Each structure stands twice: as structure tokens, then as C-alpha cells.
Structure 1
Amino acid sequence: MESTREPAAPIAELDEDAAQLAALGYDYDTTFKRDMTFWGNVALGFTYLSPVVAVYTMFSVSLGQAGPPMFWSLAIAGLGQFFVALVFGEIVSNYPVAGGVYPWSRRLWGRKWAWMNGWVYIVAMFATIASVSYGAGPFLGTLFDAEAGVNTTVVCALVMLALALFFNLSGTRILNTAAMVGLICELGGAVVVGAWLLITARQHDVSVLFDAFGAGDGKSYFIAFSAAALIGIFQYYGFEACGDVAEEIKNPGRQIPKAMRWTIYIGGFAAMFIAFALILAVPNYEAVVADFNAGSTNDPLTMVLISAFGPIGYKFVVAIVLISFLSCLISLQAAVSRLTYSMSRDGILPFSKKLVRVNERTGVPSTALILAAVVPASIILLSLLLPDALVTIISFSSVGIYIAFQMVVLAALRARILGWKPAGSFRLRGWAFPVNILALAWGIIGITAIAWPRTPEAPWYVNYIVLLTALGVLGVGALYMWLKKPYLVGSAPSGDATSQINTIAARPREQVSR
């Protein structure tokens, strides 16, 4: 059975979380179940952020581009995204509504801005799901000794996508459990693998983190480092997923901002630790850089792991890595399905009546989840036409996510200038403006680093494919908005952050229920 919504109850009859949601202007929807725990919320953000996925997917490419100093991109991106997480935490505390960036932008700026923000984020999330599935393909093929190649990667990627959909359709409790299992396996795997490499396979001391070993010769090293920085940029998003399920966790205004910060802390530590251990275990950096420049398919990551763990131990590590990829995919699908649901609840997406359906038994938006598998599967199949599919998909998904993030950050800064006074449980108070400005500055730097052309010898469209694709997504969204005017549909509040109409909804919980 599918249901769109049950009749709203009077605010006085609702619990505190439901009353807060109703006071924000949304009819209380009993089809969502608040079954997610705090650590389940942290796990959701962590498995979406997934340090193992980012490091294992991009390690060889980044090391070949910039040498060992590529490690520092993880620290730089972590700090920049921490500022973004603080801004998001203050916003979600004020507006604990399912869907994340779309409802936040709607309240902070208005209907048109929210439509474009949601559109960009949905497309970028579909691309991110495709990139993670594609990155998992070679590992799944290796586990079953399948013949390496593009076709094997594509088939294995589709299998991972289908498994993630199966778990998501099973309900929020299964999602909570899957996220917790993913966190334990991924964090445990990162610590165990990293520690074993440092104890038994370390080839160098810490000084190598400051030596490029010939990377970037013949051109500015900054260009090489910024290209390698995609590993850090790809690593540090996912914390916003904690807010996507704001209607599925108790006391979201207090719990979600804390969960976002813990996602950064734990994910950042795990990513930097495993990257540090892998770097020190690579025997010959000059060879890695030379192989990369020559277009060789030699993979230093695989060689290091097989050397340290042996063939059987390597298979065990691959199995842990695959659990990390699967849990990341589950979290990604869950996040984008809730955003799709949120926009469809306001009636602003095509086929909104179907996408807003929530399964009465499992309490999840099943149609939106299926869409979150079908579109990425199409991207994976189209990747057969791309010469460097993985890096291209990751670059586009990352720039799309960063654009969507910065639309929220800019909307928050604009709202503050116009007088917005956050009233949630988590507030930045006197630090609000400096943190907001730093978050915006970091986002601009990150977007520039992703989209900047780095191969002048290649055709112009190869150099600018990320920028062209991003502009294409923005253009399609703007055209649809101009022709269909979807932002005019729906009665959900918009652009009211600078008024005092709904501040009661963001007050501490004990005040809401009085």
C-alpha cells in the first residue's frame, strides 16, 4: 500500500517534534517514522561521506598527479567543509524539515532559488551515486576473480546499485542498521588496515609528505596539487545527509547539528589515517608519478595491499571495502530520495504525485528511491562512451554538490544581512558572520579547483567538460523553471527567514509544547 499523507492532527495533540514541524507550516505526516537514532544519523552521514570510498577510489590518481603532498588536500578540504557544516547545523536546527538543501533554501531565500538549488543537488546526487557504484565495480570484480575491464566494472556497478536499493526499500530501521554496520566496518577497517600498514609495510618517514618526487614538473605544482585535491573535495560531503532525514529522528534541531560535526570528526580522522598509512607504504613515488604521466594502468594501491596482506588477506580487505561502498550507496540513495520527496511534497517536480508516495509498511518514499537507482544506472551505462569515465563523473558530481552547498551558504549569508535571527537549539551567535563568510570563500575555491582546466594539450571540450556540464544542468533547470514555473506550485512557506512569523517553530522544544 502507498499513501501520500494522513490528515493533520491539531498541534496540541502532537508530540514536540511533530508540533515543531506543524508550526513550521507543514502538515504533520505520520507516514514517516522517527526510528533513526543519533548514532544512526551520524552513521548515515559517515557512510555517505565514506572515507574508504573517497580514498580508495582516488588514491592512485591523486598520488600520481601530485605525489605524497596530496595528503594535505584532505586536511584543507576538511577544514573548509567544517565551516559549511556549522552553517548547515544552524539552519537545520531552525528548519528541521526532510530534504535538506531544498527546504533550507526555500525558507532562507525563496521559491525560485529553492527550485534551482534542489534541481542542481538532485542531478549531482544522481551522478555521485553513479560514481560510487562505478568506483565499487573493480573491487567487486576482484573479489570474484572476474576478468578486469570496462564491461565487468559496469555490470558490477549495476549489481551494487541494485543491492543498495533493496536495503533502502526495506525501511528506515534497516537503513539505520545498515548505516551502523557500515560505520563499524568502515571505521574498523580503516583503523586496522592503516595500523597494519604502518607496523609492517612502512617504507618512508613523515618527511615524504613535503616532497613531490617530480610531480608537476614542467608546470606549476599548484596546478598538479589542485588536480590531486579532488580526493579531498570528493571526501568531505555527506554530512548534509544527516539533515535530509530530519523527520525521521527525534529532537532533530539539537541532534542533527551535533551529528554533522561528528561526521566530519570521525570521517576526517579515518580518511587521513588510511591515506597517511597508504602513502608511507608505497615503495617508489617516482615510479608512480612516471607511470601516471605515461598513462600506465599500474595501480599502486593494489600493489601495496597485496604486498602487505598477501592474496588471501587482500581479498578480505576488498570485502571490507565493498561493505563501505555499499553502505555509502545506501546512504546516498536515502538522502536524494528524501530531497525528491520534499520537493514533490511541494508539487514542484514532474510526476510529484507519484514521487511523494510513502510506503505505509516501510515508511520510505519508494518511488523516489527507485528513481535514485534508475537514473544513476543510466549514467553508468552512458559511461561506456567516456574515455576517463570515473574521474569525469566524480568531477561533475563534486562540482554539482559544491554549487548546491554554496547556494545554501549564500542564501544564509543574504538572510543574515537582511536580519535573519536563527532561533534553533544550535546557534553560532557572534561567530555566525565570520563562519558564513569563510564557508562561502571555501566553496568558491573548491568549485574553481574542480572546474579549472588542467590539460592544455587535450581538446577544449575535454578541458572544460565539468564546467560545460554544470552550466548545462543550470541551463536546463532555468529553462524548465521559465517554461513550467514549478516554483509557483505548493503552499509551503518560503522566503520567511527574515520575518518573525515562524520563529516559534525553531524555539527550544520545551517552549514549543507549552
Structure 2
Amino acid sequence: MNSSIQPGAALDRDAEQLRALGYTSNFERSMTLWQNFALGFTYLSPVVGVYTLFGLCLAAGGPPMFWSYLLVGIGQMLVCLIFCEVVSQFPISGGVYPWARRLVGKRWAWMVGWIYSVSLCVTIAAVALGAGPYIATLLGFESTPVTNTLVALALTVIATLLNLSGTKLLARVAMFGFICELLGALVIGTYLLIFERHQPFSVLFNTFDIRIDGSYWPAFLTASLAGMFLYYGFEACGDVAEETPNPSRRIPKAMRMTIWIGGGAAIFAALALILAVPDMAAVISGADKDPMTTILDNAFGVTGARLVMAVIIVSFVSCVLSLQAAASRLLYSYARDEMVMGSGLLKRLSPNTHVPVAALIACGVIPSVIVCAGFYLQNAIAMVVSFAAIGIYLSFQMIVGGALFARLRGWKPSGAFTLGNWGWLVNILALTYGVLAIINMSWPRTPDAPWYLNYGIILVGGIVILLGLAYMTLFRPYDKGTAPHGDAWKLHQQ
């Protein structure tokens, strides 16, 4: 075979596959397997995920919280495997929305896309705000609500400009972020384990007599939120399906790599941090309210800690970039099927950069509004932010449930990646895990707080779902487009 024409032939096959699924697009298929994986990795962002919640979850559940990273990783791998089957057969930009459309139908897809898009926009704002204290430390000024807000707005603008520059730059920045974050996690973790280990490995099984209503398990379930807020991002690999050559094979592989490598980096970082805590009793009692800073200052000193902060900041920037890229492709996919107001503008791709300009700008403006609202309504925004992770989990389970529904109607995955006879068992286990995870994340844990705070996640989730249902009922957006829907099992029968 003449290798000089092979790439073009492959792209023609990809375009023909997309046409067979009912779509055409002008995206630039230039994202390699490793670049696609890097997008998922930087979205998952083990450094951001571990470092952000480490202190809170360690205080809540003690060192055994480490095991939650492993257990949640196994559960999310089950979900990932179902996603791999679906995206392999339906490699369409937008991820969960087009998958839900083919597995179940238009209304189900609209609600999945609505919940997921709200969750993504809130997550972008939350990650951008989370970068504020680290940037303040690096630059030597005090972290305040004002500076955090300004940093978040600046970070969102930078991510939007980078994304507007095109798929190639997005892929390169994602690769740079992946390399910096992985090397940072490995180097920092290795240094801590070799030179700054203050705890024995047996501490991973020491509950320090933490009890809630006489039992340790409620505390462990609370601490397990550390893992549950970490293990997503693999779905972002599928959001750019039309920008990746041979997506039926490459994207399922990139998704699994995201869990294996991203999860492995997170587990390693968490292990190193736990064993580097100088005084575990002080963290458990609340005397040390910021064990992350304590560890980094003790291990690296002020100058060294700033270098570590620089790695963390790169992780935050690349995480916001990847989140925004995923959100914009979802919005583009939504608009292409006429499922949202302003579809005519949102579905346009730039003739120069081949990216959805209006969708990207919207995915910069909406998080910026949330950031500004957070400055004035901190308690309310805290509840909204807490919904973000559970909203993503809910969207995931609507896909896992949709896949099970399609199987019951006769769907047999026919992409390059399938689970074969294991499909039913993995699907059922993934759904069971996801439902239990959602219950754990939304379970009220502050009985002394006002009811609207205690049930804040459930309250915000209910409002988001009701608003989506109201929009669907009033405007019937799902009836405007003519793209295929609810045909996964029919394709198999044909």
C-alpha cells in the first residue's frame, strides 16, 4: 500500500462513516491518539482533583480515604467501558448528547445535553475560581474573593482565546498540560515518598477512631467524594470525535488510557501526600486546616513550593481549556440538530480555524457570569457548584441506562470496540455503581444546617431538571431537527 495516500484514504473513510450516521462536518481531523487522550487527561486533571479536595476529605475520613480513589476508579472504568462501546459505533462530536439521541431518543437526549451542559459550565467556573489561591501564592499576593474572581475571569478569557485558535493548538496545549501535570505528579510524589515520608504505610488502614453515629463507614463515604469528584474527563475524548482520525478505534482506547493513566497518577499523588503529612492528628482534629500548604512548605520551602504551585497552575489552565472545548462541542452538536435557541449561529464553524466560534464564546461568557455571581452570592453559588459533579454523574448514568434500554430492545454494539458477552454484566454493574454514587454524593450530611443547605444538591438538581422540562414543554426543541434518533437497535436489525 502506498503510505503517501493512506492518511487521506483514512480521512475519507471517517467522513463516509459520519455520513452514514447522518452528519457531515468541516472539523479538522488532526488530533492524534495521544492528543485525544491528553484532552481527557487534562479534563480529569489528577493534580487539580487531588489537591483541591485533599485536605477536606483527609480530615473527614482519615488516611483510609486513599482507598476511595481505587474503588471509584474501578466503578468509573465500568462506566467508561460502556461509553467505549457507544462512541465506537457513534463517533459523533458532542459526546453524551448524540449518544443519548441514538440509544434512546430525542427527548432523552435533550435532557442529557441540558444537564451536562449546565454541569460543564459550572465546573469551568469552579475550576477557574479554584486556581485563584494558587496563583496568589505564586505571585506573592493575598488570596481574596476579589483576586480569585479576577483570576478566574482572566483564566476563562485565556482558555477561550486558545480554544478559538483551532484544534491543533488545543491539542498541543493539552499535550503540554498532560506532560507537565504527569511529570509534576510523578516528580513531586516521588520526592515526597523518598525524602518527606512522615507516616508508615500502615496509616492507610488507621481510622484514627473517626466515628459518625458510632460507625466509621459514614465518614469513609464522605471522604470518598475525593475520588468521585475526580474520575470524569474520559468522555471529553468523545466530544471531539469528528476532530480525530479513525475515531471508532482511537477514542475508546484514549478513554481507557484516561482512566488508567489519570487514575494512576491521582492514586500515586494521594499516596505521597498522605504519607507526607507531618501531624495526622492535627489534620483530623482541625488544628491543621490546610495540610496541602503544610506539606509543600515543609518539603520544598517557600521557593520550592512556588515551583510546585507553577505546575499546579498549568494543570488548572489546561483543565479549564479542556472543559471548555468539551462544552463547546456539546453546544455545537446540540445546535446542529436545532435543539437550542440560536442554533443557526452556534452551529457555525470558522472557515479558518474549523472550530465553533459562537459556541466557544458562549462557553466562556456563561462561566464568567457564574464566576461574577459567585462574588455576590457565595452561599448560593456554593450549592450550584456542588451540583456540578453530581450533574455530570447523572448525565453519565443516563447514557449507561440508555445503553441498557437499547440492549433490552435488541441493540448489539457494532463498533470497533465491543464488550461482547460481557456487555450486559458490565452495563448492569456500571448502572448500579452510578446510582449508588449519586446517592452518596447527594446524601445530606449537615443535619444542623438549614434544610435548603442540607439538601442543596438535591434542590439545585431539581431546579435544573424542572427548568429543562419547562423549556422542552414550551418550545419543543427536540421536534425541530431531522437528525436520526432512537435507532441504535434498528441499525443492528438492518
Bin for the TM-score computed over the shorter chain: over 0.9
Q: Find the partner of 2:252 among 257, 265, 269.
A: 257
* Counterpart Cα distance in 1 of 2:304 and 2:472: 53
Q: Find the partner of 2:17 among 15, 20, 24.
A: 20
Query: Is residue 66 of structure 2 the alignment partner of residue 75 of structure 1?
Result: no
* Counterpart Cα distance in 2 of 1:281 and 1:13: 50
Consecutive aligned runs of 4 or more in structure 1 exceeding 3 Å deviation: 214-220, 385-394
Q: Find the partner of 1:167 among 158, 162, 170.
A: 162
Check conservation: 1:24, 1:502, Cα contact below 8 A.
Answer: no
Change in Cα spacing, 1:99 to 1:303, as seen in structure 2 (3 Å) is same
* Counterpart Cα distance in 1 of 2:384 and 2:262: 22
Q: Secondary structure at the match of 1:498?
A: helix
Q: Secondary structure at the match of 1:148?
A: coil
Query: Is residue 474 of structure 2 the alignment partner of residue 483 of structure 1?
Result: yes
Change in Cα spacing, 1:412 to 1:218, as seen in structure 2 (3 Å) is closer
Which deviations, in whole Å up to 9, do the C-alpha atoms of 1:169-204 show, x marking residues without a partner? Answer: 110000000010011000000000000001111001
* Counterpart Cα distance in 2 of 1:143 and 1:115: 42
Q: Find the partner of 1:87 among 47, 72, 82.
A: 82
Q: How does 1:295-444 map to 2 (within 5 A)?
A: 298-385=289-376, 392-444=383-435
Q: One-letter code of the match for 2:77?
A: F
Q: What corresponds to 1:115 in structure 2?
A: 110
* Counterpart Cα distance in 1 of 2:201 and 2:493: 53
Which deviations, in whole Å up to 9, do the C-alpha atoms of 1:218-246 show, x marking residues without a partner? Answer: 55422222222221011100000000000
Q: Find the partner of 2:207 among 206, 212, 216.
A: 212
Comparing 141-150 with 107-116, greater Cα deviation is found at: 141-150
* Counterpart Cα distance in 2 of 1:76 and 1:368: 36
Check conservation: 2:383, 2:460, Cα contact below 8 A.
Answer: no
Check conservation: 1:134, 1:390, Cα contact below 8 A.
Answer: no
Q: Secondary structure at the match of 2:142?
A: coil
* Counterpart Cα distance in 2 of 1:389 and 1:274: 32
Which deviations, in whole Å up to 9, do the C-alpha atoms of 1:284-310 show, x marking residues without a partner? Answer: 12211211xxxx783110110011011
Q: What corresponds to 1:176 in structure 2?
A: 171
Q: What corresponds to 1:189 in structure 2?
A: 184
Q: What corresponds to 1:127 in structure 2?
A: 122
RMSD (Å) for aligned C-alpha atoms:
1.7
Check conservation: 1:346, 1:492, Cα contact below 8 A.
Answer: yes
Change in Cα spacing, 1:121 to 1:461, as seen in structure 2 (3 Å) is same
Number of residue-to-residue matches in the alignment: 486
Check conservation: 1:65, 1:216, Cα contact below 8 A.
Answer: no
Cα deviation for residue 384 of structure 1 reads 2.6
Check conservation: 1:130, 1:393, Cα contact below 8 A.
Answer: no
Check conservation: 2:412, 2:492, Cα contact below 8 A.
Answer: no
Q: One-letter code of the match for 1:275?
A: A
Between the aligned residues of both structures, percent identity stands at: 52
TM-score by length of 1: 0.92
* Counterpart Cα distance in 1 of 2:355 and 2:378: 37
Q: Secondary structure at the match of 1:358?
A: coil
* Counterpart Cα distance in 1 of 2:336 and 2:372: 30
Cα deviation for residue 395 of structure 1 reads 2.5
Check conservation: 2:44, 2:230, Cα contact below 8 A.
Answer: yes
TM-score by length of 2: 0.95
Q: How does 1:450-465 map to 2 (within 5 A)?
A: 450-465=441-456
* Counterpart Cα distance in 2 of 1:261 and 1:390: 33
Cα deviation for residue 146 of structure 1 reads 1.6
* Counterpart Cα distance in 1 of 2:481 and 2:446: 46
* Counterpart Cα distance in 2 of 1:259 and 1:491: 31
* Counterpart Cα distance in 1 of 2:417 and 2:95: 16
Q: One-letter code of the match for 1:186?
A: E
Which deviations, in whole Å up to 9, do the C-alpha atoms of 1:123-154 show, x marking residues without a partner? Answer: 01111111111111111111111212222222
Q: Secondary structure at the match of 2:489?
A: coil
